[in-house]
Structure 1
Amino acid sequence: MFFLIIVYSNYKNNSNLFSRRGNYSLFIIHYSLFIEHPTVIIEILSPSTEKYDRGDKFKYYRQIPSLQEYILVDSKSISVEIYQRGEGKIWHYSAYTEEESITLSSIEFTSTVKVLYEGVNFETDTV
């Protein structure tokens, strides 16, 4: 089993794992690398799982030796939170909004938060 990952063209890496297709870079990476040795885990938060994603699930993820970054992407507003592994058991927390840039150091990826939400329309409650 393989995964196909699509990343915006500003992704720069000399890896042989990807090829260019128009404005995107395509990666084909073996499934076992994600399961056994993840470097980055990205969660799209939903109201029903947000507490679990921030709590018990993150507690489990912190025990994965290869994990360097844990990203939480809000599904209700333009907001991204990043936990980055520091020395020992220290995890550094940063929160980002629409016009700010994020950098995932472990995979050499940089983008504005706004680009990550491109094409997303949030539902609004009406009274």
Structure 2
Amino acid sequence: MTPDVTCIGANETVAEAAKKMTDLGVGSLPICGTDEKLKGMLTDRDIVVKVIGAGKDPAQVKAGELAQGEIVTVAADDTAEDILRIMSEHKVRRLPVIDRHVLVGIVAQADVARALPDSKVGDLVEDIST
């Protein structure tokens, strides 16, 4: 897990999110509301496809506008096996880690890969990619 996660505020623009992603060297950011609750995840792909590719101005679109659907998370005490199952079921590569409703980190596919045998990691990659 990567601790000390930086959120993008739901009212911040997608352009600001892109700048944060660049500065942090990451491809996604959790979207947090003014209530500090997780609203969703914003990926670099979301920015390209849903904003730039759709002809929208990243300086005008708010990050919160791209928060959609069910927010899939894991608990801070979930096992690597639990995380593997959740990633496979929801076909996601990154999961916010929550401890008592507070965002405490992000666990990525690479984190799981380091914790599990190669065969299980191969299954995860296949599940996510199909």
TM-score class, shorter-chain normalisation, is: 0.3 to 0.5
Structure having the higher Rg: 1
User: Which structure dedicates a bigger proportion of its chain to helix?
Assistant: 2
TM-score by length of 2: 0.32
